[in-house]
Amino acid sequence: MKATVATSVFAVFMALTLALGLLAVRARRGGRRERGLAEWSVGGRSLGTVFIWVLMAGESYTSFSYLGAAGWGYRFGAPVLYVIAYMSCGYALGYVVGPMLWAYARRHGLVGITDIVAHRYGRPWLGTAVALFATVCLLPYIQLQITGMGVVVSTISYGAISLNWAYFLGFALTTTFVVVSGLRGSAWVSVLKDVLVIATLGFLVVYVPLHYFDGYGAFLDRVVAEKPQWLTFPGHESGGLGQGWFISTTVVNSLTVVIFPTTVAGYLGARSADTLRRNAVYLPAYNVLLFVPVALGMAALFVVPGLTGTQSDLALFKLVTDSLPAWAVGVIGVAAALSSIVPMAVFMLVIGTMWGRSVFGARSGAGAGPGEPVDGAAGQRQKRWSQLVVVAAGTLALLLTYFAPQTLVRLSLISYEGMAQLVPMLLLGLVWRRFTWQAAVAGAVAGIALVCAAVFSGHDPLWGVNAGLLALALNVAVALAVTRFGPRARDARPDTEVLAVDDEFPRLTEGDRAVAVGAADSAN
């Protein structure tokens, strides 16, 4: 009975999700007829502040937040705060980086980081190489979302839906709607997801302490009295996740998150550079919500003690299934499942775009010129390739989930720290003309090598510091040396063609500006 109720609630919402995804694309076609790659990959660069906010919040607030954040809170305590810290710092940096990348991509008709790299250095093959590397880094995330969703669905259905079916369900739903509707569909579904996430977490944060502990004061007093180890660095039996690790991880992740391909997809979907600046003000506020699963994870310490290892990832759901009626469990499951689907959709979309544009597109030489290359006939062709790659990538992730789950788990260890090594190539390259592709590649290769060596030999963190940050330091040092002593670039294009120019700020009319400044002043 409980299983039927929870599963029905879940099924209804999944149908709604698919409908929303399909509706998003129809709504757009009603207005203007745009079917090229730019419409699919970056929503025709037309999303306003609200959609960008929910989309970017949607990407970052994944099923990890439900499972991992609570799980880390349960197992280690304080070290989990790194997620909140790096997102806050990264979103603040996004105030500068977002509009810069947006303006650059818009001016040159680009749809992703591989495109940006290919254009900056005038080397299409470099875009291809970055696309291949980024795919290797992103695939584990898709698998992570598939397994995350599988675990959630299987738990909230009280076991009625088996893990394997739940994996397939997540894959099929996400692939269908991302192929059909692209970034715009993801943004629409994000709205549903955010409403549910905010509502369910808002409810849980009030309900759980009242239900189990006679309220907040009692809950907090008990944590402070009985679990002090969890409440400061280095946390409880965290194995070296001390202050040095926290600081270095926050620094390197905050740099990485601003150039992460999925973040950039969100940036490029914005209607204007100023949309992104406004968004950078509002987006960090979302991070306050992350304290909820952390607190619930710690509450689970008292309610369901003794979970070990990956079991602890279910800390939050053990509380939920233990204390709530079936329909409520279903709704919370939907919120968590959507927290897998939205990021998974964007990850797939980004992989598809990178391949359509920088792997197949680069070889055929299509869309290399300026203007609006992504919406013509070549753009149509690239979009079809991209959609094919989405299905292929999703299928691959699903198959690996079934048959070789450990492969991607191992890869996921280097994902974030590996992507960090592209930061100089992208950001330094866009503001510094002398930076050559040789320097960018040499630095990235050195950095990635160090990350792989440290992670696979089990030396991350290295000397109490995140190996990704050490690798990034090596990366920059090598890149600077090659720039200084290596070959000079022979590129006849003017700086304005190659670099990110500061011509997009503030792109307001005099009227807007007076209003905006007035508002800022009066709020002051």
Site of interaction with another protein (CB under 8 A): 78, 81, 84-85, 88-89, 91-93, 95-96, 100, 216-217, 220-221, 223-224, 228, 231-233, 243, 246-247, 250-251, 254, 277-278, 280-285, 287-288, 291, 430-433, 494-496, 499-503, 505-506, 508, 513-514, 516-517, 520, 524
In the bound state with another protein, the residue whose beta carbon lies nearer, of 216 and 456, is 216
Cα–Cα distances in Å, from 301 out to 69, 77, 333, 467?
Answer: 14, 10, 21, 31
CA-derived radius of gyration, the chain: 23
Looking up tokens 């989990």 gives: 80
Count of alpha carbons within 13 Å of 495, Cβ hemisphere only? Answer: 8
Give the nearest distance from C-beta 481 to another protein in angstroms. 22
Coil, helix or strand at residue 173: helix
In the bound state with another protein, the residue whose beta carbon lies nearer, of 365 and 487, is 487
Give the nearest distance from C-beta 35 to another protein in angstroms. 34
Closest CA to 447 of 419, 427, 428: 419
One-letter amino acid of 18: L
Residue 409 tokens, joined: 């788990």
Q: How far apart, in whole angstroms, are the C-alpha atoms of residue 403 and residue 262?
A: 27
Cα–Cα distances in Å, from 280 out to 87, 90, 96, 98, 198?
Answer: 11, 10, 9, 9, 19
In the bound state with another protein, the residue whose beta carbon lies nearer, of 173 and 251, is 251
In the bound state with another protein, the residue whose beta carbon lies nearer, of 5 and 205, is 205
Q: How far apart, in whole angstroms, are the C-alpha atoms of residue 423 and residue 279?
A: 22
One-letter amino acid of 17: T
CB contact at 8 A, 172 and 164? no
In the bound state with another protein, the residue whose beta carbon lies nearer, of 52 and 411, is 52
Q: How far apart, in whole angstroms, are the C-alpha atoms of residue 470 and residue 467?
A: 5
Residue 296 tokens, joined: 């619930």
Give the nearest distance from C-beta 89 to another protein in angstroms. 5
In the bound state with another protein, the residue whose beta carbon lies nearer, of 390 and 499, is 499
In the bound state with another protein, the residue whose beta carbon lies nearer, of 309 and 494, is 494
Give the nearest distance from C-beta 225 to another protein in angstroms. 10
Give the nearest distance from C-beta 99 to another protein in angstroms. 9
Looking up tokens 């299983």 gives: 3
Give the nearest distance from C-beta 320 to another protein in angstroms. 22
Give the nearest distance from C-beta 517 to another protein in angstroms. 5
Give the nearest distance from C-beta 446 to another protein in angstroms. 25
Give the nearest distance from C-beta 25 to another protein in angstroms. 32
In the bound state with another protein, the residue whose beta carbon lies nearer, of 364 and 496, is 496
In the bound state with another protein, the residue whose beta carbon lies nearer, of 169 and 204, is 204
In the bound state with another protein, the residue whose beta carbon lies nearer, of 81 and 374, is 81
Residue 268 tokens, joined: 């490029």
Residue 488 gets which letter from DSSP?
P
In the bound state with another protein, the residue whose beta carbon lies nearer, of 458 and 521, is 521
Q: How far apart, in whole angstroms, are the C-alpha atoms of residue 48 and residue 239?
A: 44
Q: What is the DSSP string of 389-413?
A: HHHHHHHHHHHHHHH-HHHHHHHHH
Q: List 462's β-bridge partners, or say none.
A: 465
Give the nearest distance from C-beta 482 to another protein in angstroms. 20
Give the nearest distance from C-beta 496 to another protein in angstroms. 5
Give the nearest distance from C-beta 152 to another protein in angstroms. 25
Give the nearest distance from C-beta 193 to another protein in angstroms. 21
- Using N-to-C axis directions, what is the helix angle for 437-456 and 124-156, rounded to 10°? 30
How many CB atoms within 10 Å of residue 505? 13
Q: How far apart, in whole angstroms, are the C-alpha atoms of residue 104 and residue 118?
A: 13
In the bound state with another protein, the residue whose beta carbon lies nearer, of 300 and 359, is 300
In the bound state with another protein, the residue whose beta carbon lies nearer, of 366 and 423, is 423
What percent helix, strand, coil does the chain show, rounded to 5? 80, 0, 20
CB contact at 8 A, 283 and 50? no
Cα–Cα distances in Å, from 104 out to 110, 119, 323, 415, 444?
Answer: 8, 10, 51, 26, 22
